[in-house]
Amino acid sequence: MDDDLPIDPVIVDARGMRCPWPVLRAERALRIAHAVKIIADDPIADGELAALAQARDWRFVRLTGIQFMLWKQ
């Protein structure tokens, strides 16, 4: 895991939601937060979240199979 991970991210539980919902929820949370931990079980969520991070110049890390972290640089 990355030593630079933010402390106290906002948790977004998107289990059971299909893309684009996990991405939309993460983007909405990052309007007011510096970091978001997303729990998403859609198989394409990691690719969609990574694309969002790249488009917005944010950092993206996969923590586990269904847990991801996004944060502003």
- Can you list the domains of the chain with their CATH numbers? 10-72 (3.30.110.40)
Burial status of residue 49 (CB atoms within 10 A of its CB: 0-12, 13-18, 19 or more): buried
Spatial CB neighbours of 33, under 8 Å, sequence gap ≥ 6: 9, 10
Binning pLDDT at 50, 70 and 90, where does residue 4 land? confident
> Is the predicted pLDDT of residue 1 greater than 70, yes or no?
no
Q: What is the CA radius of gyration of the chain?
A: 11
* Tens-digit pLDDT profile for residues 19-66: 999 999 999 999 999 999 999 999 999 999 999 999 999 999 999 999
Q: Give the rounded distance of the alpha carbon of 38 from its chain centre.
A: 5
Question: What pLDDT is attached to residue 5?
Answer: 87
- Three-state secondary-structure class, residue 70: strand
> Is the predicted pLDDT of residue 2 greater than 80, yes or no?
no
